[in-house]
Amino acid sequence: MPRTTDRAGPGYRPSRHLEFSPEGWTVREHNLIEEAQVCLYLNGQELVTLTCSPVDLEELAIGFLRSEGLIASLSDIEAFSVADSGSCIDVLLTDVSVTPAGRRVLTSGCGGGVTFIDEQNLTRVPDGPPVLATELTAMMRELIRVEGLRSAARGVHGSALGRGGSLVLIAEDVSRHNCVDRLWGKAIRGDLDVAGMVLLTSGRISSEMVMKAARLAVPIVASQRSPTTLACDLAERLGITLCGYVRPPRVRVYTNAFRIAGTIPA
């Protein structure tokens, strides 16, 4: 089973609360998921403030920069540092002239995410071998059962990259968009080519999730929840197969059904 984080413990903290039941009020103990605002500086300039889980910030920053097209590999990074407080990440690129090329878009993500991706510059995702619906449900079942922040505290999203019915990488964060960036950060650090894999997520599939999938060259995106209309329109144009409400044993296929073995394209 791939690990969701390289650090044990951080990401949640113990809390006490009052709980009402038919028997009356009781003091209970429960873990709360941590949420932090972390400022990312690029070449000495403030780029964005990420609302995120404050763990493994290096992989999150690397994945975000790659997702936004600001780096292509680790070799593009000259220096990297995370403040002791965990509230600031400084990244210096080998090319200090690099800046976001697209317009700043406020997304529908948790906390109001930001992306600089211009959908007009995205290209169609290459076709890959068909995937069985049972492979999708098996991978979603594995994601749901992962023992990480969600099992310790709840209140987080999970995402994964998989193939052949098994998960390869898993990430968790308070933001579903950060989960995808974390996956790419893990892949870059592990020198892993993710093109052609399946992207699974516990959260809603919005248009920016589809754009991130296109950047990853991932042909299939599957979620426990629903896609939006804009996500479906964009996925149709980019050749991405969107699967929603993947709740074993059922799967709904919204776009480009030819990649799911046994279906009849609409």
pLDDT class of 264 with cuts at 50, 70, 90: low
Provide the mean pLDDT of the chain: 87
- Residues 206-229 have pLDDT tens digits of 998 999 999 999 999 999 999 999
Query: Vertex 156, ends 45 and 88: CA angle to 5°?
Result: 20
- How many whole angstroms separate alpha carbon 221 and alpha carbon 208? 12
For residues 181-208, give the mean pLDDT.
Answer: 94
Query: Which of 65-69, 90-94, 129-133 is predicted most confidently?
Result: 90-94
pLDDT class of 146 with cuts at 50, 70, 90: confident
- Residues 31-42 have pLDDT tens digits of 888 899 999 999
pLDDT class of 179 with cuts at 50, 70, 90: very high
Question: Which token pair is 96?
Answer: 């200090």
Is the model's pLDDT at 13 over the cut of 90? no
Q: What is the pLDDT of residue 117?
A: 64
pLDDT class of 113 with cuts at 50, 70, 90: low
Percent of the chain at pLDDT above 70? 88
Is the model's pLDDT at 8 over the cut of 50? no
Q: What is the pLDDT of residue 247?
A: 92
Domains and CATH numbers, the chain: 36-118 (3.10.20.10), 133-259 (3.40.140.10)
Looking at the chain, which runs of residues are DSSP E strands?
12-21, 24-33, 36-42, 45-52, 77-82, 88-93, 105-106, 114-115, 157-163, 166-173, 198-201, 220-223, 241-247, 250-253
Q: Catalytic: which of 52, 110, 232, 243? A: 110
pLDDT class of 74 with cuts at 50, 70, 90: very high
Say if residues 5 and 172 touch (Cβ distance below 8 Å). Answer: yes
Say if residues 219 and 236 touch (Cβ distance below 8 Å). Answer: no
- How many whole angstroms separate alpha carbon 223 and alpha carbon 210? 12
Judge whether 243 counts as a catalytic residue: no
Q: Which of 1-15, 134-148, 157-171, 180-194 has the lowest mean pLDDT?
A: 1-15
